[in-house]
């Protein structure tokens, strides 16, 4: 019997402790698992140097130091528990190392959150509630219907497909966009990125689910917003930097019929040390925000850990690796 592969888990203690049983259940019979949180630096480096697989939440600086990255095996695998890859310091990792994200694992709760935010804006729930709190009982303001609208989904991975399903279930036409212009998901139209202007022009609702990389940073700016219908709704559950912050604010102010809902922000505490905005979005009645909680429902981390560990097991057993990232998208 050959030597068992070594797996190093560098996730923060709260994630490790809650799901220790899953690591043992899914991988315990095929690998030796080491949890590195709380270990001394020298011990961490020794384990990383012999690990065929490293499991991280997002490979952010608070999980693994720059010096520790030098010990990673070039032929190894870095498996993420989350889908976003924008925290990964690709240039510091071994060039040959495989990196797999956990894309789409939070798709269902994210899709529900998108629907909730869209309905909240179209139905004027927050402004109406604020008026009632101030003693104003105003039935003259009209809200808007969702059925019959066209929803453009820019980025059609697992999240996009779940959003398409929930939108179609309430009578919304779905036009999706991905790299290939092809999908097995039942949608009304599927286009590639060459038709982004067409997508912007016809989308009553535009949902952003693309990863943040070289080609998507600042993808939605002044020109793109000007192409959208004046009463459109823009929802971002991708990453904040996909939208030009100043351009969005400058578009919302003179276009009160245009609405935006943001769950993922330009500056967040985990990634940037603080929540900060450069513009006064929360003073606008056509803006809605939530603190990056679209995927934060009970049980989601169990699903995420299970999905990631099953991907690792398949990889160790010679199967196809899911979620493999292309470094050229980020470097």
Which DSSP letter does residue 283 get? G
Average pLDDT over the chain, rounded to an integer: 93
Farthest-apart Cα atoms in the chain, separation: 77
Tell me what pLDDT residue 296 has.
92
Tell me what pLDDT residue 13 has.
58
Tell me what pLDDT residue 1 has.
43
Mean pLDDT of 43-64: 92
Domains identified in the chain and CATH numbers? 6-104+298-329 (3.40.50.720), 107-289 (3.40.50.720)
**Is 165 in the active site?**
no
User: Please, which residues have CB within 8 angstroms of residue 151's CB and are 6 or more apart in sequence?
Assistant: 163, 164, 167, 172, 173, 174, 175, 203, 204, 205, 206, 207
Q: Is the pTM of this model over 0.85?
A: yes
Tell me what pLDDT residue 330 has.
85
Tell me what pLDDT residue 63 has.
87
Catalytic residue of the set 112, 189, 268, 310: 268
Greater model confidence, 63 or 177: 177
Tell me what pLDDT residue 20 has.
82
Check whether 55 has a pLDDT greater than 90.
yes
Catalytic residue of the set 19, 34, 124, 239: 239
**Is 133 in the active site?**
no
**Is 147 in the active site?**
no
Mean pLDDT of 301-324: 94
Cα gap 210→288, rounded to integer Å:
20
Alpha helices in 76-157 (DSSP H): 107-122, 125-133
Cα gap 7→281, rounded to integer Å:
44
Give the start-end residues of each E strand in the chain. 6-9, 32-35, 53-56, 77-80, 98-100, 150-154, 173-177, 189-191, 205-208, 233-236, 259-262, 287-289
Judge whether 188 and 212 are in contact, CB under 8 Å. Answer: no
pLDDT in tens, 77-107: 999 999 888 888 898 999 999 999 998 899 9
Coil vs helix vs strand at 130: helix
Check whether 288 has a pLDDT greater than 50.
yes
Check whether 188 has a pLDDT greater than 90.
yes
């Amino acid at each position: 019997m050959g030597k068992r592969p070594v797996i190093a888990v560098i996730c923060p203690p709260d994630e490790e402790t809650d799901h220790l049983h899953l690591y043992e259940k899914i991988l315990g019979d095929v690998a030796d698992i080491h949890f590195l949180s709380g270990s001394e630096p020298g011990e961490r480096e020794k384990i990383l140097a012999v690990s065929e697989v490293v499991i991280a939440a997002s490979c952010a600086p608070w999980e693994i130091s720059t010096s520790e990255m030098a010990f990673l095996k070039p032929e190894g695998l870095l498996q993420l528990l989350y889908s976003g890859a924008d925290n990964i310091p690709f240039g510091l990792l071994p060039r040959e190392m495989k990196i797999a994200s956990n894309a789409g694992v939070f798709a269902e709760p994210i899709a529900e959150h998108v629907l909730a935010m869209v309905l909240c804006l179209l139905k004027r729930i927050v402004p109406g509630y604020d008026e009632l709190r101030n003693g104003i009982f105003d039935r003259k303001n009209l809200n808007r219907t969702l059925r019959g609208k066209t929803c453009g989904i820019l980025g059609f991975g697992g999240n996009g497909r779940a959003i398409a399903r929930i939108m179609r279930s309430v009578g919304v036409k779905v036009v999706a966009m991905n790299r290939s212009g092809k999908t097995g998901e039942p949608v009304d139209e599927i286009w590639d990125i060459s038709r982004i202007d067409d997508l912007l022009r016809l989308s009553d609702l535009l949902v952003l689910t693309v990863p943040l990389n070289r080609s998507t940073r600042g993808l939605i700016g002044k020109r793109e917003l000007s192409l959208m219908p004046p009463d459109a709704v823009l929802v971002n559950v991708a990453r904040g930097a996909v939208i030009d912050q100043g351009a969005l604010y400058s578009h919302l102010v003179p276009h009160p019929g245009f609405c935006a809902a943001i769950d993922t922000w330009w500056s967040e505490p985990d990634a940037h040390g603080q929540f900060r905005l450069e513009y006064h979005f929360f003073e606008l009645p056509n803006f809605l925000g939530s603190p990056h909680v679209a995927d934060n429902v009970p049980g989601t981390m169990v699903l995420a850990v299970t999905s990631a560990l099953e991907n690792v097991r398949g990889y160790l057993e010679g199967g196809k690796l899911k979620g493999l990232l292309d470094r050229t998208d980020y470097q």
